[in-house]
Chain A
């Protein structure tokens, strides 16, 4: 189906919350999903893959130069958010990262223009990160190096130049995201039915 970015934003936030993320992270997730969609990526599907995966972790050592978590792959949202919170400008190496595409929206918000390189990522600065040929990123990267690059702008800063005005989402993906969002809704009780909206009065006049 064809949805507006605002619909995608609400759905992403609700689905992230339904999957158990704190509200602050749910806000970050909805930002990332919309940012990617504006760059022409099918980010709703990426979000679903992300929410379905339970075995990813935040980086444990964000004050060092190599970020990792001994328990398993890094969570791209929590990693991207930490990179941005710290306004990283030095070189950081991420070891084992799930869905590396999802950190890109956060890296794009950093003050310095950053270069992302991975051993199984074919994203190089001279092509521009958002070269339209780069439609798919691997589901995980063993290593991802993030470093400041001088000179030409490699990122398409989406705030100013959205590549598209709408988002095409697969119906099944949308329905699965709805299922996640549904978990945030409270089951109805007699009391809530009567009092919740202040009903019990006729709407008609």
Chain B
């Protein structure tokens, strides 16, 4: 039995502490990351995976079908392999050709389906999928690693582990589009299936199966090159390969556009932390597991490379943190009362944010029975229309605004630095961009992604009205505040739904928003390529779909199989 002190379970970190971008940009994967949730589900439900067809020719062109069958439904990954000239290889979502393209089909596709998808999936923008498809994605090779592995395998030897670790993946996806994009099924029509209760499960299922296809493809191409001599990639090495992803500004506004979802993610994680901190006594087994995963994490951090000064600085900090932590843990008494709370409090005083957030994720690991059920509180499947309560008085709204947005008054909104940036969508790329408000002609195209500034403007205008007036009347006269009033009413009921930072200030680092989201996906190896886009790795360390059994470890993300 777990020894949890019920009294202290309610102690959650304050949103003013958690929702700062510098902290969100230091989050790490955890038991509540969506990849981890997916892997637990397919293990516990004994999903069956099967290669249905592998029809790729000697030039690497063709298609393959892989199926995944759970207790109720079957899903099929349909992969199209292309022969892409090097000069056309770009990770940008606005590219028009890729090394491979994919869709996840709801069920088992007919030949007509394959023909229809063959004409659409490989095309950007003009290609359409249907309500029978859950998502669409595209991927490019890491040419460097691909060539190295093909040349090694075809010569009958295994590739160099250092080269594998220096890249980490054979292909990286550009984006995985779900939620009705390009004509796919709307999430609301599948979100009630038990396998999709946690967020982004079908997108990640498709990535998990893409990784399998990529492994088959590299083995196939090595064999094509030298049928007599070629060997298959050693399974221990194949675990080290994940699927890469390049994530740019297109994803950054997501956290602002889905406040309830953001709240549910963070609330689940904070609740998990609070439960673990409330454990009065740690068992020997729990402490041992924690220390074992800590040691593995040190190895993982050692593999984490980045050329970007921002991340190099963070990696240095975490290296110092690890030195400090190792010393502390050597003498740490795990038999003390509330050991995790003690460790948490010590980390706040002694570690960088990277280190603090790492320890938080790590201390949840031994406590699946306290943490894992929270996975099913993380969705916002209703995403229903939020009506404005227009019967609230201006006085009520003013009070509410001061309560949830009090922090915005610490920002000097008259200063140009506070308004330096503007979010817009460019005509050329049709993707979100961040521009310089005072030197580019973009202000009239600004997207509503500056809730702090907008709340400030609302507060100024409210000052011109009497406290007893209804907000409905105010909104007839001042419709420009309508989106902010709605947001205020949403935020008031969801403590972790708003980023407590200025999202248009000169100091903004969009990669912090990306890292927060990607850590919840379960990504590792954050490698910022600028302050606006980042490369990551997914499912590194995981078994392949055809190796799933009820004995696979919960801790694959710590590279158990290495």
Contacts and interface: CB of A to CB of B under 8 A. Distances in A.
A82 to B, nearest CB: 6
Interface stretch (B16-24, B402-410, B492-500, B526-534): B526-534
Contact of B180 (A6, A199, A201): A6
A205 interface: yes
A22 B429 CA distance: 24
Interface stretch (A48-56, A124-132, A146-154, A183-191): A183-191
Nearest to B428: A188
Nearest to A189: B440
Given A4-B185, A191-B440, A198-B248, A185 B90 contact: no
B460 to A, nearest CB: 17
Nearest to A185: B427
A7 B427 CA distance: 18
A165 B131 contact: yes
Contacts of A188: 426-429
B188 to A, nearest CB: 8
B472 interface: yes
B440 A86 contact: no
A203 B440 CA distance: 26
B142 interface: yes
Given A5-B186, A87-B390, A186 B482 contact: no
A159 B384 contact: yes
Interface residues of B, number: 73
Contacts of A159: 382, 384
A5 B486 CA distance: 22
Contacts of A198: 248-249, 510, 529-533
B322 interface: no
Which of B89, B188, B189, B385 has the most CB atoms of chain A within a 10 A radius of its CB? Answer: B385
Given A185-B445, A192-B440, A3 B183 contact: yes
A25 B482 contact: yes
B73 interface: no
A189 B424 CA distance: 13
Contacts, number: 168
A93 B311 CA distance: 62
Interface stretch (B101-109, B260-268, B431-439): B431-439
B89 A203 contact: yes
Interface in A159-205: 159, 165-166, 182, 184-189, 191-193, 195-201, 203-205
A119 interface: no
A44 to B, nearest CB: 15
Interface stretch (B271-279, B288-296, B473-481): B473-481
Which of A59, A189, A203 has the most CB atoms of chain B within a 10 A radius of its CB? Answer: A203
Contacts of A155: none
A198 B535 CA distance: 13
B224 interface: no
Given A23-B483, A196-B433, A205 B426 contact: no
A13 B232 CA distance: 51
A92 interface: no
Interface in B111-152: 128, 130-131, 140, 142-145
Contacts of A123: none
Contacts of A186: 424-427, 433, 435, 441-442, 445
Contact of A4 (B131, B144, B430, B482): B131
Contacts of A66: none
Interface in A94-150: 109
Interface in A75-91: 78, 82, 84-87
B180 A5 contact: yes
B180 to A, nearest CB: 3
B426 A185 contact: yes
A182 B427 contact: yes
A176 to B, nearest CB: 17
B427 A187 contact: yes
B482 A23 contact: yes
A86 B390 contact: yes
B89 A85 contact: no
Nearest to B445: A186
Contact of B476 (A82, A185, A187): A82
Contact of B472 (A1, A85, A182, A203): A85
B388 interface: yes
B487 to A, nearest CB: 9
Contacts of B480: 22-24
Nearest 6 A/B pairs, CB to CB = A24-B482, A85-B390, A198-B532, A6-B180, A4-B180, A196-B433
Given A58-B476, A165-B185, 18 more contacts: A2-B128, A4-B131, A4-B185, A5-B186, A7-B180, A22-B480, A22-B482, A23-B482, A24-B475, A78-B479, A86-B391, A87-B389, A166-B131, A192-B433, A193-B428, A196-B433, A203-B89, A203-B246
Interface of B: 86, 89-92, 128, 130-131, 140, 142-145, 167, 179-181, 183-189, 246, 248-249, 382, 384-385, 387-391, 424-431, 433-436, 439-442, 445, 448, 470-473, 475-476, 479-486, 510, 529-533
